[in-house]
Each structure stands twice: as C-alpha cells, then as structure tokens.
Amino acid sequence: MIIIRCEDYDEMSCTAAEYYVELLQKKPNSVLGLATGSTPLGLYEKLVEAYEDGVIDFSQARSFNLDEYYPIEKNHPQSYHSYMYENFLGKVNFQESQIPNGEAADPENECIEFDKAINLAGGIDLLLLGIGTNGHIGFNEPSISYTLATHLTELAESTIEANSRFFADGELQPRAALTMGFGNIFASKSILMLISGASKRPIVQRLLDDKIHTDVPASLLSLHPDFTIIIDREALGD
Ligand code: GLP
C-alpha cells in the first residue's frame, strides 16, 4: 500500500488527475473503473479540463462504474448514471462506458452481463475508489462474508443515512444497490483510493493501523499488490 499525503482537496484531485494523464499516455486503451460520491468530483473536473486542453484523450478507453442504486431510474437526478454523465462521462470522449443498470428487470442477470463485459474488455487497469464512513467500498458494506462478483446488495442503515443528504425530504431513497464485489475489485490491476475530509478521520485510523478488520471492507485492500491511497490532511487529522 502506498500512501500519498496531500495538503488539501485540490492537491488530492490534481495528484489523482496526474495518474490518469500518465496512464492514458502509456496505455490509451485503458479500462477504467470509476466511482461516484463527492470525493472524486474534483478529479473529474481536472480530467475534463485536461481533456478540453488536449492533454488527455479517452477515445480508446473504456469505463465501468463500480455501483448503482437499485432500483432507480437512469435519469433520476440522484442515480449514479446521472451523476456520471453530468460530471464526467458526458463531457469527455470514452469509446464505451457501462454503469450497472438500476432499471434492470432481472438484477441478477444484469450483474452477470456486467461482469462478462468487464472480462471481455480485458479487465480493469485502474479502479478508482472512495470510502464510506463505515469503511464500505462501492457498496460492499461491513459484513462477515464478502461477495466476489457484481451483485445486488442491501445498504447499511449508516450508508442510507450518509447518502440521504442527496435526496429530497420525503423522497423515496433506494435501500439496495448493484455493486462490483471483492472479486472484481481484487482483479483490477491497480487500485486508487481518494480520501478527503474530517468525516473520514475515524475510518482512516482503522484503515491505516496496519491490520485487516473484517468490519472495515476497505482494510482488505492492503492485501492488493498495487493499492495507492491519496489522502488530504483533513482526513488524516495531522
Ligand atoms: C457512496 C458510494 C461509494 C463512495 C462513498 C463515499 O455510498 N457508493 O462508492 O465511495 O459513498 O462517498 P463520498 O465521497 O461522498 O464520501
């Protein structure tokens, strides 16, 4: 595990963007695993700028998103589909992008087809991750057992609560999601996790204490041979 400490959110986002510029220069047909949440927004902004300035090109690259609420309409303002097209995919030029389909009538089959598409693309070169305040990655919530493939899962109460800030009062908030599993995550050649802000401090302490905690899904990532964390001072609390 490599930890890159940054002064603030902006430096974290710039450092992460450099990663992508380098990777796409080396391998223009990279397969990128993408994440949602507030943390990667700065990175997406920098990548859109780099694209508009001609510094980066995604025309040979493919992307697969980590997760999506279930059920949710694609064009719901809080779907990860809407988030991705508004903040990134709609502003750059990926050859192909896939996001688990929150409208799928048969979610199990959707997950099988999604994993097939990842394999067909040759697997994920660089998987971007954030971390939930309870240590979840994608929507792999703390559990005594973890699912390997993309799957339908129930969200933890703490996650529903943490994400309620995005939904209007009284609006029906999804209590389940489709998410890549640990098999997909570990099969990714490199993993890049972004962590920012004081709300992540307690979970960061458990993530970085050199132990694997079965109730902190992200701590399992320290077993991955190419796992990098870019973290800002507020999240580190130093
Ligand atoms: C969501 C997503 C995760 C994300 C996490 C943290 O629940 N499924 O992929 O990493 O929340 O989000 P934020 O970056 O807003 O803290």
How far is Cα of residue 97 from the mean position of the Cα atoms in its chain? 14
Greatest alpha-carbon pair distance for the chain in Å reads 48
Using the mean position of ligand 1's atoms as its centre, give its distance from the Cα of residue 163 in Å: 8
User: Is there a catalytic annotation at residue 103?
Assistant: no
Would you tell me how many other CB atoms lie within 10 Å of the CB of residue 8?
A: 12
Give the pLDDT of residue 170.
Answer: 79
CB 99 within 8 A of CB 81: yes
* CA atoms of 210 and 1, how far apart (whole Å): 10
Q: Which residues pair with 6 in a beta bridge?
A: 232
Q: Take atom 8 of ligand 1 and give the residue whose Cα is closest.
A: 138
Residue 199 CA, closest ligand 1 atom number: 16
User: Is there a catalytic annotation at residue 151?
Assistant: no
Q: Write out residues with Cβ below 6 Å of ligand 1.
A: 35-39, 66-67, 130-132, 138-139, 159, 163
Using the mean position of ligand 1's atoms as its centre, give its distance from the Cα of residue 121 in Å: 25
**What are the two backbone dihedrals, phi and then psi, of residue 74, each rounded to the nearest 5 degrees?**
-55, -40
68-95 per-position pLDDT tens digit: 999 999 999 999 999 999 999 999 999 9
Give the pLDDT of residue 166.
Answer: 87
User: Is there a catalytic annotation at residue 136?
Assistant: yes
* CA atoms of 157 and 160, how far apart (whole Å): 5
* CA atoms of 186 and 104, how far apart (whole Å): 26
104-129 per-position pLDDT tens digit: 999 999 999 999 999 999 999 999 99
Q: Take atom 13 of ligand 1 and give the residue whose Cα is closest.
A: 37
Annotated catalytic residue within 65, 68, 125, 136: 136
Using the mean position of ligand 1's atoms as its centre, give its distance from the Cα of residue 61 in Å: 24
Annotated catalytic residue within 134, 184, 232, 234: 134
Rounding to the nearest 10 degrees, give the CA dihedral for residues 176, 182, 187, 189: 90
Average pLDDT over residues 176-202: 98
**CA of 81: how far to CAs of 24, 166, 224, 235, in Å?**
23, 14, 28, 27
